[in-house]
Structure 1
């Protein structure tokens, strides 16, 4: 029984080392929202995905200032959250915005979300 417990503990530690954490350093988390993100693996992963998509958007846009401004506005919205559910919804919203931007940039959809010319 003791060997199973140790093996399970080692597995948990090893998988935690490879899990996606937030894009920021949790040791320096200062706001309530940052602390909630660090305490929740789903929110941590969402933050990491958001950061990757933001970097991609900056690299593929013709207007980096617009992308940066949209991210600042989104961060204000996210940072106003008081619950993990609110933060999760904020990440979903930003993810959908980035996905829409990807589709527009690829020509798969128009700016208004319609397809075709």
Structure 2
């Protein structure tokens, strides 16, 4: 019988260990540090696997809500609502009460994350528009010009054909934007530079003029980018599969 070389045995051992670890169920972890838990409710969560999973689900839903391109007022309302919920949770006198509080808040956040925002389609005048014949994984639109003298919120919208609608449960396709001055020189520091990215779960579903779409990203000239400057932006769509024509718009935000 042929004996395997020590190096082969080592690699086999490492491979078996990796497979075994991959099959181990992930240990739930709450969205806070259990080593710093102070309140009775926090100790209950850290000692109960079911409550830890509930906290993990709520944390994921809340982080997705924070990433939605809904504007500063909506983000402030989200934070205020979360603080109110924490006060309610911390008044619980039983673990059953804590579980119910988590279930209610998680359901509220998930429903809010799925909410379709109705946009005005009558006076729709986009800052920039481009029809994309199809998107096979990745598509970049370069040279989008912007300039404003007053602070202005801009949102990146994508409207797709119903035949291309593919629901995703976690993650989803991505979107990126990068902006800089037209006189930027490769290898030299630019006067300003802005980059942002988002993903499917964080997009805001919208309807405009009977068409279904998403707000992919939102940024503010005068905050994220300078005023009174010529700006060129690139928007990139990643991991999309759109066989039918879709419309990409940059629109001044009115909410």
Normalising by the smaller structure, the TM-score range is 0.7 to 0.9
Match of 2:100 in 1: 89
> Is 1:68–2:76 an aligned residue pair?
no
Deviation at 1:94, TM superposition (A): 0.4
Q: Identify the match of residue 29 of structure 1 among 18, 21, 37.
A: 37
Number of equivalenced pairs: 95
Q: Establish whether residue 102 from structure 1 lines up as the match of residue 113 from structure 2.
A: yes
Q: Which runs of 5+ in 2 are unaligned?
A: 1-19, 117-204, 208-255
Inter-CA distance 100–107: structure 2 relative to 1 (3 Å threshold): farther
Q: What are the Cα deviations for residues 11-35 of structure 1, in whole angstroms up to 9, with x where unaligned?
A: 9xx947x311111111111110000
Greater relative contact order structure (CA < 8 Å, 6+ sep): 2
1:58 aligns with 2:66: yes
1:79 pairs, out of 77, 90, 95, with 90
Supply the distance in 2 between the matched residues of 1:15 and 1:21 (Cα, whole angstroms). Answer: 15
- In the alignment, what sits opposite 2:132? none
Q: Distance in 1 between matches of 2:47 and 2:61?
A: 22
Cα distance, 1:74 vs structure 2: 0.5
Q: Which runs of 5+ in 1 are unaligned?
A: 1-10, 109-117
Residue by residue over 1:2-54, the C-alpha shift from the partner in whole angstroms, topping out at 9 and shown as x without a partner, is xxxxxxxxx9xx947x3111111111111100000001001011111111111
Quote the offset at 1:107 in angstroms: 5.2
Contact 2:64/2:113 (8 A) holds in 1: no
